[in-house]
Amino acid sequence: MSTLPDFTHWACPLPLRDYPNVVIGHGGGGKLGAELVEHLFVPAFRNDALENLGDSSVIEFARGASRLALSTDSFVVRPLFFPGGSIGELAVNGTVNDLAMSGAKPLYLTAGFIIEEGLPMQQLGEIVNRMAEAARQAGVLIVTGDTKVVDKGHGDGVFINTAGIGIVPDGIRIGPQFAQAGDAVILSGTIGDHGMAVMSVREGLAFDSLIQSDCAALNNLVEAMLAVDPSAIHVLRDPTRGGLASSLNEIAVRSQVGIDIDERALPVMPDVQSACELLGMDPIYVANEGKLVAFVAKDSAEAVLAAMRAHPLGQQAAIIGKVTHQHAGMLVARTAIGGSRVIPMQLGEQLPRIC
């Protein structure tokens, strides 16, 4: 899928190929660090702004851009590589998605690396290449970055921070405080894929499965949705840590509305369901990295849903519920057997249970 940097034709005196693992010197701002930038980051991320290698990158904005969206996120996933992805794709898509959830068109990203001494260069190269590929697919450029190296034992291989900037077109008014009674709640696809993919390779809990992370950039999907009717979309959220339940709870509180969902409408892949059953976990609290939930004005719901389903990342989109005046600030679900349950905000991380 990706090609590692070709180490064979590098100039002396200290080519990267002599260092199979990252060492403290690579973060020192000296020759080793410059080598890393020159032979790894720049070729991978390849763009004019980056290649100037200034302390900051200067970008020209299109005329008439009146609102900017800014976002930052840090990525500390363990293990670094999991079925369907790595920390690299997460780092790019996570920030791209945060921008897209404001209705912004994501444009530029920064990438800061805190690398643990001893990380195999091969792994770093793989991660960087995956970031480059993710950025290409999302249509964003990584224009500036930073590298530090910490002593062995003081990091989990690598931590990555990305910050992103995008432009919010006029007429877009999307935010967690804008949900209105009557809005349809639309989910773009299956929930729980990412969290269970990571769980399947976690020490002490691992299991054999074909579950893949759903890590993906959602900005194109959002564009397709906005094209239907930008004013009809009131809230967008990508339910990452804490899952769909956390996102819906947050929105219910911010907008001071109640949310009713029907559990029968929630799309969950059979393997993900099975994995959750095995560990006693609820898919509604499990992390996603390539899904969004949208609060759409009732009258435009069907049209927006159709636009989502026509897009590769929204083929299993479904209307899962609606916003109500009642039980403001709370998420309530109709269960499969016709009862109901309140789905509260979880206090910490969802853990496997035996009880």
Site residues, other proteins (CB under 8 A): 203-205, 207-210, 258, 260, 264, 270-271, 273-275, 277-280, 282, 324, 326-327, 330, 332, 335-342, 344, 347-348, 351-355
CB atoms within 10 A of CB 327: 14
Which candidate, 108, 158, 111, 104, places its Cα nearest to that of 131?
111
In the complex, what is the shortest distance from the CB of residue 5 to other proteins, in angstroms, rounded to a whole number? Answer: 35
Residue closer to other proteins (CB basis): 12 or 342 = 342
Nearer to other proteins, 84 or 145 (CB): 84
Residue closer to other proteins (CB basis): 135 or 272: 272
Can you tell me the distance from the alpha carbon of 233 to that of 266, in angstroms, rounded to the nearest whole number?
20
Beta bridge partners of 283: none
Rg of the chain in Å (alpha carbons):
22
* Residue placing its CB nearer to other proteins in the complex, 63 or 353: 353
Min dist CB 302 to other proteins, Å, is: 20
**188 neighbors 317 (Cβ within 8 angstroms):** yes
d(CA 41, CA 29): 14
Q: Report whether 323 contacts 179 (CB < 8 A).
A: yes
Residue with smaller CB distance to other proteins, 315 or 340: 340
Shortest separation between residue 195's beta carbon and other proteins, angstroms: 14
Q: Beta strand pairing status for 141-150 and 105-116?
A: parallel
CB of 267 vs other proteins, minimal distance in Å: 16
In the complex, what is the shortest distance from the CB of residue 210 to other proteins, in angstroms, rounded to a whole number? Answer: 7
Q: Which is nearer to other proteins, 38 or 262 (CB)?
A: 262
Angle of helix 219-228 relative to helix 301-309, nearest 10 degrees? 140
Smallest gap, in angstroms, from Cβ of residue 78 to other proteins?
Answer: 13
In the complex, what is the shortest distance from the CB of residue 186 to other proteins, in angstroms, rounded to a whole number? 18
Nearer to other proteins, 100 or 251 (CB): 251
Query: Angle at which helices 219-228 and 87-100 pack, to 10 degrees?
Result: 20
What is the closest distance, in whole angstroms, from the C-beta atom of residue 281 to other proteins in the complex? 9
Residue 276 contacts residue 353 (beta carbons within 8 Å): no
Measure Cα distances from 143 to 112, 123, 147, 148, 182 in Å: 11, 22, 14, 17, 42
Count the neighbouring beta carbons within 10 Å of the beta carbon of residue 276: 22
Nearer to other proteins, 29 or 280 (CB): 280
DSSP annotation of 106: E
